Homo-oligomer: A and B are copies of this chain.
Amino acid sequence: MVDILHKIGIKSSSPHAVYKALTTLEGLSGWWTSDTKGDCKTGGVIRFRFGNGGFDMKVLAQDPARHVLWEVIDGPEEWLGTKIGWDIRQDGEWTTVLFKHAGWKEPVAFMHHCSTKWAVFLVSLKALLETGQGTPWPDELKLDSWEENRAAA
């Protein structure tokens, strides 16, 4: 098993604001994908779509302003059963997010891609909270021709 790890600091925000961006349809739509639907409560399923395809996440755990954990229950085969965890803490003036997409079976090229893409969306989360404007799909930076063509379809 191999994991994707990231860490990002958000200036002049708060753990509550970051938690809200991870646990509400409005928040998630503001940095990951504008097409986010479903039930954000613990036990619920959130459906993230990116045009042709996407991910369904079951919300396994939520600890307000501290922790969120999802399990992928539908999406690309490599993602099925993987877990995505978010840990939030305050470091002085900055709110820090520790991110982990855990349980990949193999370090395939698609995992490399998803690692970089998560960073692109974490930068979008940072921008949303610092400036009020993120770059959720379909407006985020495209990393290959497949993504470019999907966004144009």
Chain A positions within 8 Å of B, measured between CB atoms, are 2-9, 11, 91-94, 96, 98-100, 107, 109, 111-113, 115-116, 119-120, 122-123, 141-145, 148
A6 touches B115 (CB 8 A): yes
In the complex this chain forms, how many copies of it are found? 2
Complex Cα gap A116–B118 (Å):
9
A115 touches B4 (CB 8 A): yes
B119 touches A115 (CB 8 A): yes
Q: Which residues of B contact A113 (CB under 8 A)?
A: 7
Nearest Cβ in chain B — how far from A123, in angstroms? 7
Known pairs A4-B115, A99-B112; list 15 more (Cβ under 8 Å): A2-B2, A2-B5, A6-B119, A7-B109, A7-B112, A7-B116, A7-B143, A9-B143, A91-B145, A92-B145, A96-B144, A98-B109, A98-B112, A115-B119, A119-B119
Q: Which residues of B contact A98 (CB under 8 A)?
A: 109, 112
A interface: dominant SS: mixed
Nearest Cβ in chain B — how far from A74, in angstroms? 23
Nearest Cβ in chain B — how far from A119, in angstroms? 3
Identify the 10 closest CB pairs spanning chains A and B, nearest first: A119-B119, A7-B112, A9-B144, A5-B112, A6-B116, A7-B113, A116-B119, A5-B115, A94-B145, A9-B143
Complex Cα gap A96–B116 (Å):
13
Provide 21 A-B residue pairs closer than 8 Å at the C-beta atoms, listed in order of the A residue. Answer: A3-B107, A4-B115, A5-B112, A5-B115, A6-B112, A6-B116, A6-B119, A7-B109, A7-B116, A8-B116, A8-B143, A9-B143, A9-B144, A9-B145, A91-B144, A94-B144, A98-B109, A98-B112, A100-B112, A119-B120, A123-B141
